[in-house]
């Protein structure tokens, strides 16, 4: 099983925005500030994300209820785990603010795209997908390793086949140049 990564904290948002879009930390935080302060929409002036300077993966209980309802209505039943996913915060985290997340999971990137510029939409989509995926079921993989010995050499090949996509149907972290996934926090 591969469990979903937690919602973003400041450092993981900056890392993922750099890997995915080449955004500097300064640009990421400037765009996040715009999304936090809000934009004019058909609903009026609306803040699209929670506070973006946080080291906590904690999520408000009402937001958990809302995102679980959204997953239940928009994805197959197997995508919703029996109970919410909770993430352990890092040792020494202040936990003053909750994780970075959309103010409403039902406010999809498509539904707000007309109000956002390109950078805002990219960052909002990243935050939205990561948050929704964090409350989805784990992915299930079949893994196989083959060792081959030929004279004095040994070779190893590994592979995996996805049996159930789980959260990866919505979100997968970008990979570093060395082919490894980014550290989710």
Distance spanning both ends of the chain, measured CA to CA: 18
The answer to whether the beta carbons of residues 116 and 125 sit under 8 Å apart is no
Handedness of CA 87, 90, 92, 96 (dihedral sign): negative
According to DSSP, the β-strands at 153-164 and 140-150 are antiparallel
- Choosing from 36, 51, 115, 171, which is the catalytic residue? 51
Residue closest to 97 by CA, chosen among 135, 62, 59, 47: 59
Cα 75 to its chain centre, rounded Å, is: 17
77 in Cβ contact with 166 (< 8 Å): no
> Helical H runs in 23-165?
25-37, 61-74, 109-112, 118-134
Active site residue 51: yes
List active site positions.
51
């Amino acid at each position: 099983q591969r469990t979903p990564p937690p919602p973003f904290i400041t450092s993981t948002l900056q890392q993922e925005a750099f890997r995915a879009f080449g955004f500097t930390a300064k640009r990421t935080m400037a765009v996040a500030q715009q999304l936090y302060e809000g934009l004019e929409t058909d609903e009026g002036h609306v803040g699209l994300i929670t506070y973006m300077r946080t080291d906590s993966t904690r999520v408000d209980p009402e937001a958990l209820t809302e995102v679980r309802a959204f997953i239940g209505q928009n994805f197959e039943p197997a995508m919703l785990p029996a109970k919410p996913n909770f993430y352990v915060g890092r040792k020494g985290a202040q936990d003053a603010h909750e994780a970075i997340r959309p103010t409403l999971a039902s406010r999809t990137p498509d539904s707000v795209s007309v109000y956002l510029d390109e950078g805002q939409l990219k960052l909002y989509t990243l935050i939205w997908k990561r948050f929704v995926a964090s409350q989805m079921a784990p992915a299930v993989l079949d893994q196989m390793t083959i060792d081959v010995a030929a004279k004095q050499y040994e070779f190893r090949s590994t592979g995996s086949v996805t049996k159930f996509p789980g959260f990866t149907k919505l979100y997968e972290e970008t990979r570093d140049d060395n082919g490894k996934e980014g550290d989710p926090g």
